Structure 1
């Protein structure tokens, strides 16, 4: 039976159909419309089961929370000049709060850094409606549901890809810079950019912290700056694979390039 959720597109596949993202994302004319249909997606059975299981079992610290337990859309202005691409929502972070990188250790680091370089209105992100606003930045992910062990499968990544592709296409008129957090996001973003018509260098550049690649939009001749950054995960921070100054440096470079 078709799920008549808010934002559903008439005659589109049902939300639990693997073809739902591909068929539905392309029909969204705005980022707001895209977010509305995205949150109804149930195309990946393993991810749906996990996100809903976590919301039922909960973590003791969040026992009183009514978990979001749906796909988590991107966050930030729809005319952003800078996009940040992460991995996926955290089980007790975005999957709980309904906003990406909100309520988990990675988000604590990221939003504090964004505030420190002038890209966020406050250094903390605790829940939707907490007053946080991003300045010229939109944060999104290649997989919109929390995965077990923070590890989506390649099939789940590819099923979810149309959401990222459409979001970047809708941001294209204003987008100048993309910061990718981690190797998984890098591997997801490059095919999306290539399929979207951006000209990538050959061979395709490998991920690395601080990597800076210019990709050209043949339609306008304008460059899109692609920056690599280690993911601000608890492990990367604790092992000092990524330090706060390293993160600040990438975000400052991104903000500078976005203003040019």
Structure 2
């Protein structure tokens, strides 16, 4: 895996993936039982591909699809409270055509940014295992390779995305400092590949309800990270 020559081909591979039995069982069980508020909807119930253009200079790396969000709608951060926060921020930054993302056919488009995750299936309790992250890493690695001509900045939402991305970059030959830099909100790490490519990683607390409802992460904090990301992406 994967050998995909385009992001569209990679997206199809991801949507058809059944590599992790625990995740497949969980995502399909959620799709069968459904939440009461969505009992009349047909859930996606599969692995969720990345979302955004193939010439993006900015990559946002989350954690995994939400059981009743992206696992229901089939699009990253779509149909849940986390997506409400993220897409509103992307709209303020001029990267999203509208401030909300409710379903996959709602007309939303992204400009210069792509959204992905180290795990493409909804995990029980939002906690993928290390083995599941490793299994899914080939998709993130290939996505980065396909975006290589344009991507210059990666914003990771949370520590799992930060750690997973560093692992994938290290496997692809990017020199990673030792000890590995720790995740933190607003943290920044500039990397240079031996072939001359440059990539800057930025950390941002995850846009989860746990963080946004408690005030640990505010809209202004997300805006600041995105503004810094855009400054870096447009300077190269």
> Above 0.5 in TM-score?
yes
Match of 2:103 among 123, 127, 133: 127
- Any unmatched runs of 5+ in structure 2? none
Match of 1:179 among 139, 155, 178: 155
Q: What does residue 33 of structure 2 align with? A: 57
Q: What does residue 20 of structure 2 align with? A: 44
Is residue 245 from structure 1 mapped to residue 220 from structure 2 by the alignment? yes
RMSD after superposition: 0.8
Are the equivalent residues in 2 in contact too, given 1:229–1:247 (CA < 8 A)? yes
Alpha-carbon distance, 1:203 to partner: 2.0
Count of aligned pairs: 235
- Any unmatched runs of 5+ in structure 1? 1-23
Alpha-carbon distance, 1:101 to partner: 0.3
Q: What does residue 202 of structure 2 align with? A: 227
Q: What does residue 54 of structure 2 align with? A: 78
1:19-168 superposed matches below 5 A = 24-25=1-2, 27-168=3-144
Identify which range, 127-136 or 91-100, moves more after superposition. 127-136
Are the equivalent residues in 2 in contact too, given 1:201–1:215 (CA < 8 A)? no
CA–CA separation in structure 1 for the residues paired with 2:88 and 2:113: 14
The residue matched to 1:203 in structure 2 has which SS?
A: coil
CA–CA separation in structure 1 for the residues paired with 2:58 and 2:39: 36
The residue matched to 1:47 in structure 2 has which SS?
A: helix
Are the equivalent residues in 2 in contact too, given 1:86–1:180 (CA < 8 A)? yes
Q: What does residue 16 of structure 1 align with? A: none
The residue matched to 1:35 in structure 2 has which SS?
A: helix
CA offsets 1:113-141 (integer angstroms, 9 cap, x no match): 10011111100001112111111000000
CA–CA separation in structure 2 for the residues paired with 1:38 and 1:145: 9
CA–CA separation in structure 2 for the residues paired with 1:223 and 1:76: 21
The residue matched to 2:125 in structure 1 has which SS?
A: helix
Specify the structure having the higher radius of gyration (Cα): 1
Q: What does residue 211 of structure 1 align with? A: 187
